[in-house]
Amino acid sequence: MNTFFPTYLNKVHGLSMVQADFLSSIPNIAMLISCPLGGWIADKTGHRKRIFSICLGLLSLWWWAAFRTPVWALPVLMAAFGLIGGPIISTIVTVLPDVVKRPALIGFGMSLLMFWHHLGEFVGPLYFGALLDKTSSWTIAAIFMVPICVIGGVAGVMMKEEKIRGTLVNK
């Protein structure tokens, strides 16, 4: 999102690049709160997959609204992106020890997690840019992002959840 949203704000809404970049930085500010809060809630409740799935569902709504929102509401929309996105990151990382069976492989598992995470950050803007080139519509290109979030949320729901020693653990 941060790759192309400033361009959208500049080209479509006529904001200066300074204003557009500031609005695009609001999610990062919100994530300073939502990442640790999401991790804390996941630890307290043991419901990592629910947090992950709900946040991805909400993120699909964000994509639906992102290029339809009037300029005056963009600060709220961008803060919402950060508040929704932060718990996704913290729950993905914290579920890793529950999935990797051997503690000796947690480092390797983390490297795979980071590889796929950063590959997604690389491919996502390319995918969105290609959609924008094909459709010539920011809104239509954003709508194509909705199913990706929904698929991720459904994948989270499909993770098995088992009780082990009185605590909920995602598998």
Which candidate, 50, 52, 66, places its Cα nearest to that of 144?
A: 66
- pLDDT tens track, the chain, 171 positions: 878 899 999 999 999 999 999 999 999 999 999 999 999 998 898 888 889 899 999 999 999 998 999 999 999 999 999 999 999 988 888 877 777 778 888 899 889 989 988 998 899 999 999 999 999 999 999 999 999 999 988 887 786 644 444 445 455
Which candidate, 123, 122, 142, 124, places its Cα nearest to that of 132?
A: 142
d(CA 51, CA 156): 9
d(CA 110, CA 171): 16
Q: Please state the domain extents for the chain.
A: 5-170
d(CA 39, CA 118): 20
Specify the pLDDT at position 16. Answer: 96
Report if pTM > 0.95. Answer: no
Residue 67 to residues 115, 116, 140, Cα–Cα distance (Å): 29, 27, 9
Architecture of domain 5-170 in this structure = Up-down Bundle (1.20)
